[in-house]
Chain A
Amino acid sequence: MSGSTQPLLEVSDLATYFHARAGVVKAVDGVSFSLKRGEVMGLVGESGSGKSITGFSIIGLIDQPGRIEHGSIKLEGRELVGLPPAELRAIRGKAISMVFQDPMMTLNPMLTIGAQIGLALEAHENVSGAERRQRSIAALAQVRIPDPETKIDFYPHQFSGGMRQRVAIAIALLHRPRLIICDEPTTALDVSIQAEILAEMKELVAELGTALIWISHDLATVASIADHVCVMRYGRIVEAGPVLDVLTRPQHPYTQGLLDSLPSRAKPGALLARGAGTDAAPPPRLPRQAESGKRSADLPYVVIENVGKRFQRKSGVLRLLGQKLGVAGPLPLVQAVDAVSLSIARGEALGLVGESGSGKSTLGRMVAGIYAPDSGHVLLDGEHVMSGGERPHKITTRIQTIFQDPFASLNPRMRIGDSISEGPLAHGLVSRAEAGAYVAQWLAAVGLDPAFAGRYPHQFSGGQRQRVAIARALAMQPDVVVCDEPVASLDVSIQAQIINLLIRLRQELGLTLLFISHDLSVVRHLCDRVAIMHRGRIVESGPAGEVYDNPRDAYTKRLLAAVPVLPVA
C-alpha cells in the first residue's frame, strides 16, 4: 500500500443501532464514504438523520445501549471497529479529535482552562509542569486567544461563547490529529463569531493538513468550508459529491427539498415549497376582532417611544450599607435597551434583527407588556400597553407573544387544550361550554388534529409544539403578535412549515407582527420592514429589501457580510 493514494479514513457500510426497550433504533444504517488527507467533508442532515452518531461511531464513543452492528471504519488502513477500549482511547484526541456544538456545555465549569488543556495533554504525553503550561499557552495562542498567558488561568464562565469554542478547538488540535470531527461547532454562536471561527478553522486546517468532517444542519455553512458533502437522512447517505455540484444540481428529491425550504432561496413573502401543502382550517374569529379595524391604516399603529430598560445585579448587604454611608457606588447598570423609538403600521411585519445581547428580546418583551420599560412607553392604537403607577402591568390582551422554545413556554403538566383555552377563559372571550369547540377550531387552524387537545406537550414533536404555542397566542384574538425567535430551534423543513403557517395566519387575521430573530434570511422572507439592533440601540431601519441590498450602517454591513451564502447555479 502506498501512503499517498490510500485514503485517510474509509467508512464502509457502517451501521450503528440503539437497542432500547421499545425496539431497535437504526441511527446509522449502512453509511459509506472516504476522506483524503487534509480534505474537508460536510455531513448534512436534519435532527435524527444520524449525522452525529456517524461522528461518534468514528471516534469510538458509542455508549450503551448503542452498538456498532457491522461495517468498517479504517483510519490509514487500520480497522477501528472492534478495537479494545484502551486502543481506541489511544487514538482519541491523538489521531482523531472532536469539537462539539455547545461550548458552554463541553468545558468543565469547575476547572481552569489551563487545567483542562493540561489533562488533554497528559492523556497522550508525559509532560513536566512547566512544559505543560508552556504548551497550553501556545495552544491558546494558536487559536488566536489574546493574552494567553493570563487567560490560561481563567475559568470557562469568564469567556464568551466564541472564545470557549476556540478553547475547545485548541484542545482538539493539541496533538495535531489527522482528523477532526466538528459536530455543529458554530450553531450555538452568533453569525459574526461563526464567520470568524469558520475563517480560522479553514486556515488552521490548511496549515496543519488536518482533515475535517463538518457536521451541520446548515447547508450554507457547509458550503463555505467543505470540499465534499454527504446529505444524510434516516441513517443513510442519500446524496454525496462535491459541494458545488450537490448544492447547485441536487439529484435526490430530499436534497432538493432541503434547499427549497430555505427562505433565502425563495421570493420574500411567498410560501416555501417544502412547507406548502399543509391544509388547515381557517382560524376562528370572535366578534370583538371585527369591530376594531375602523381607523386609518396610515397612522402608526404600534408606537414605541423612547423606550429604555436597565438591568442591575442585586447588591449585597455590605454594599447597600456602603451606599448608604456614601463610600461605595451602585453596581454598574446594564443598559439592555437604550431609548429606542420605532413604529409599526397596522398589518405590517417588522423584523427586529440582532446578535445575542443586543437587547432585541428585552425590547420585544417591553412591547408585549412582559417587562415594564424604565423610560418611554409603548402605545397600541393610541392606548397604553402598560398601566401607570408603582407596579406597572399589562392592561391589554391585544398583544400576545410566541416564544422560541415551546417546550419551556408550555406547562408540561397541562393538557395542551387547557393551555390554549386558559387565557380566553380567564378574559371571558369564550364561555366554558364553548371552550372545547374553540380549542378544536384553533388546533385545526394551525394544522393539528383537534383530537390532540387532550395530550401533553411532551407527546409532540418540536414543530407541533410550536404550532400549539402559536394557537395559544392567537386564541387570545390579538391584533399584534410578538414572535421571539419562533423558528430558531427547528429543523429547516419544519421551520419552512412554521414560516408558511405564520404567513397564512397573518394574511387571514390581518395580524401586525414584531418578528425577533438572529436569522437574517428568515426576517427578509417574512417581514416588510427591518430594524437592526446592536448594543441596545437601533442602528438602522427601513424597508427590508433596501436595508439588505444597500446597508448604510457599518454594523449592518458587517452583519450581512458574515452570513454564509449558498452557491447559486
Chain B
Amino acid sequence: MLGHILGRLGQALAVMLVMSALVFVGVYAIGNPIDVLIGPDVSQDIRLDTIARYGLDQPLYRQYFTFLGRILHGDFGRSFVFGMPVLELILSRLPATLELTLAAVFGAAIIGIPAGIYAGYRPDGLAARAIMTISILGFSVPTFWIGLVLIIAFAVELQWLPAGGRGDTFAVFGVGWSFLTANGLSHLLLPAANLAFFKLALMTRLARAGTREAMLSDTVKFARAAGLSEWTVLRRHVLRLIAIPLVTVFGLEFASTLAFAVVTETIFSWPGIGKLIIDSITSLDRPVMVAYLMLVSFVFIMINFLVDLAYVGLDPRLRRAGSR
C-alpha cells in the first residue's frame, strides 16, 4: 500500500514537470505581453527597460528554469495586471470557486444517486421515466443556456433570487464563505444549480444503470432470499456494488468543474478563478495563466489520487495484494 502511494506521488511529480514545460512553452506562443503592459507611445528606452525588468529578454529555456526555480520556492511570479503575487491572487479567488463546485457536485450526487437508484429499482414506473427524461435534458441542453433561463425565471421574472455576485460572506480563518450567510446562500443557489444540472444527469444515469445490473445479480437475489427488506438490500448491498463508477465520475466531475467553471462564473459574475483566468487571457497576464494551469493539473492529479484511495477503501479485494 505504501509502495502504491509513493509510486503515485512519483507519477504525480513527473506529470507536473511535463505539464510545467508544456504550459510554459504554450503560453509563450500567445502574443507579447509587453504590448499589453505599456502603451504604444512609450519611448524605446522605457520599453527595453520594462522587457529587461520582467526577464523577457532572456532565452526561453533560461526563462523556464528561472520560473521552475521560483515555483520550488512557492513563487509563481507577480501578475502583470494586478501587480500582486500570483499565488496570493489565485488563492484569494479559489474559495469562491471551491464553494460553488462543492455545492454543485455534492448537490448533484445527493439528488442524482438516489434518483438513479430509484429509477433503476423500478425501471418501468412513471417516476423512473420522468427522471430519465429530465436527465436527457441535462445532457443535451447547453449549460450557458440553462444559466440564462435560470436568471430570467428566478431573478428577472419571479425576483426570488439574485442574478449575480457572491453576496455577503462570512470569514473563517480569514477566508470569506458565502454559504455561511443567508444572503450568500441565496447568491450561491442559482449558479450551483446551473453547474449541477449536467452532473445530476450523469450521476442519475450511472446510478440507474448500476442498480439495474445489481438488482439482477445473484448477490441481490440471495439477500432477498434471506428475507432482507428491499430498503436494506438497496442501502447495504446495491449502494456498495455500484459505488466504484460513481466515485470515479464524482472525482472527475469535481476536478473538471473546479478547473472549468468558467462559463457559469461569467454568466453569474461569480468572482472565482474561472472568471480570473478569462480576464487574464484577454489581458495576456502570463504568470496568472501559467500558475492557473499548473494548479489545475495539480488538482486533477490529487483528486485522481484520492479516488484511487477511495477504491481501496470501498473494495476489499484491492486492499491486500497477497490474498486473491
CB distance from B190 to the nearest CB of A (A): 38
| 0/1 interface trace, chain B 40-62, chain A, CB 8 Å (1 if under) | 00000000000000000000000
Asked if B240 contacts A110 (CB within 8 A), the reply is yes
A109's partner among B228, B229, B315 (CB-CB below 8 A) is B315
Q: How far is the CA of A168 from the CA of B6 in the complex (A)?
A: 39
Would you call A94 an interface residue if the criterion is a C-beta within 8 Å of the partner chain's C-beta atoms?
Answer: yes
Given A100-B218, A108-B237, A317-B6, is A123 in contact with B317 using a C-beta cutoff of 8 Å? no
Asked if A100 contacts B221 (CB within 8 A), the reply is yes
Asked if A111 contacts B240 (CB within 8 A), the reply is yes
> Which of A85-93, A477-485, A505-513 participates in binding chain B?
A85-93
Interface of chain A residues 163 through 186 with chain B (CB within 8 A): 168, 171-172, 174-175
Asked if B315 contacts A316 (CB within 8 A), the reply is no
Would you call A16 an interface residue if the criterion is a C-beta within 8 Å of the partner chain's C-beta atoms?
Answer: no
- Total A residues in contact with B, Cβ cutoff 8 Å: 41
Residues of B within 8 A of A168 (CB): 222
Would you call A107 an interface residue if the criterion is a C-beta within 8 Å of the partner chain's C-beta atoms?
Answer: yes
| 0/1 interface trace, chain A 42-79, chain B, CB 8 Å (1 if under) | 00000000000000000101001000000000000000
Interface of chain A residues 92 through 110 with chain B (CB within 8 A): 92-94, 97-98, 100-102, 105-110
Asked if B3 contacts A92 (CB within 8 A), the reply is no
Q: Chain B contact residues: over half helix, strand or loop, or mixed?
A: helix
Q: Which chain A residue lies CB-closest to B314?
A: A110
Quick one: which of A90, A98, A123, A168 has the most chain B CB within 10 A? A123
| 0/1 interface trace, chain A 102-135, chain B, CB 8 Å (1 if under) | 1001111111100100011011100000000000
Interface of chain A residues 290 through 318 with chain B (CB within 8 A): 313, 316-318
Residues of A within 8 A of B228 (CB): 93, 119-120, 123
CB distance from A333 to the nearest CB of B (A): 14
Residues of B within 8 A of A90 (CB): 227
Would you call B323 an interface residue if the criterion is a C-beta within 8 Å of the partner chain's C-beta atoms?
Answer: yes
Q: How far is the CA of A106 from the CA of B3 in the complex (A)?
A: 33
CB distance from A318 to the nearest CB of B (A): 3
A158's partner among B218, B315, B323 (CB-CB below 8 A) is B323
Residues of A within 8 A of B222 (CB): 98, 100, 106-107, 168, 171
Asked if A105 contacts B217 (CB within 8 A), the reply is yes
CB distance from A207 to the nearest CB of B (A): 21
CB distance from B304 to the nearest CB of A (A): 17
Q: Which chain B residue lies CB-closest to A160?
A: B324
CB distance from A151 to the nearest CB of B (A): 13
Q: How far is the CA of A172 from the CA of B7 in the complex (A)?
A: 44
Asked if B324 contacts A316 (CB within 8 A), the reply is no
| 0/1 interface trace, chain B 122-133, chain A, CB 8 Å (1 if under) | 001000000000
Residues of B within 8 A of A317 (CB): 3, 6-7, 10
Asked if B2 contacts A92 (CB within 8 A), the reply is no
Asked if B221 contacts A61 (CB within 8 A), the reply is yes
Would you call A157 an interface residue if the criterion is a C-beta within 8 Å of the partner chain's C-beta atoms?
Answer: yes
Would you call B241 an interface residue if the criterion is a C-beta within 8 Å of the partner chain's C-beta atoms?
Answer: yes
Would you call B171 an interface residue if the criterion is a C-beta within 8 Å of the partner chain's C-beta atoms?
Answer: no
Q: How far is the CA of A97 from the CA of B229 in the complex (A)?
A: 14
Would you call B30 an interface residue if the criterion is a C-beta within 8 Å of the partner chain's C-beta atoms?
Answer: no
Quick one: which of B225, B229, B317 has the most chain A CB within 10 A? B225
CB distance from B32 to the nearest CB of A (A): 44
| 0/1 interface trace, chain B 298-316, chain A, CB 8 Å (1 if under) | 0000000000000000111
Asked if A89 contacts B227 (CB within 8 A), the reply is yes
Residues of B within 8 A of A102 (CB): 218
Residues of A within 8 A of B218 (CB): 100-102, 105-106
CB distance from B127 to the nearest CB of A (A): 16
Would you call A319 an interface residue if the criterion is a C-beta within 8 Å of the partner chain's C-beta atoms?
Answer: yes
Q: Which chain A residue lies CB-closest to B7?
A: A317
Would you call A234 an interface residue if the criterion is a C-beta within 8 Å of the partner chain's C-beta atoms?
Answer: no
Would you call A155 an interface residue if the criterion is a C-beta within 8 Å of the partner chain's C-beta atoms?
Answer: yes
A107's partner among B2, B219, B314, B324 (CB-CB below 8 A) is B219
Residues of A within 8 A of B241 (CB): 108, 110
Asked if B316 contacts A123 (CB within 8 A), the reply is no
Asked if B229 contacts A123 (CB within 8 A), the reply is yes
Would you call B224 an interface residue if the criterion is a C-beta within 8 Å of the partner chain's C-beta atoms?
Answer: yes
Asked if A111 contacts B226 (CB within 8 A), the reply is no
Asked if A318 contacts B324 (CB within 8 A), the reply is no
Q: Which chain A residue lies CB-closest to B316?
A: A155
Q: How far is the CA of A131 from the CA of B7 in the complex (A)?
A: 43
Given A110-B314, A110-B315, A155-B317, is A105 in contact with B227 using a C-beta cutoff of 8 Å? no
Interface of chain B residues 2 through 16 with chain A (CB within 8 A): 2-4, 6-7, 10
CB-CB nearest 8 A-B residue pairs: A93-B227, A318-B3, A105-B218, A98-B225, A317-B7, A93-B226, A106-B222, A120-B226
- Not counting A92-B224, A107-B222, A172-B226, a sample of 9 additional A-B residue pairs whose C-beta atoms are within 8 angstroms of each other reads A97-B225, A100-B218, A100-B221, A100-B222, A100-B225, A108-B223, A110-B315, A120-B226, A123-B232
Residues on B close to A: CB < 8 A?
2-4, 6-7, 10, 124, 217-219, 221-229, 232, 236-237, 240-241, 243, 314-317, 321, 323-324
17 CB < 8 A contacts A-B: A64-B124, A89-B229, A92-B224, A92-B226, A93-B226, A97-B226, A98-B222, A100-B222, A106-B222, A108-B223, A108-B241, A110-B315, A112-B316, A119-B226, A168-B222, A313-B321, A316-B3
Residues on A close to B: CB < 8 A?
59, 61, 64, 89-94, 97-98, 100-102, 105-112, 115, 119-120, 122-124, 155, 157-158, 168, 171-172, 174-175, 313, 316-319
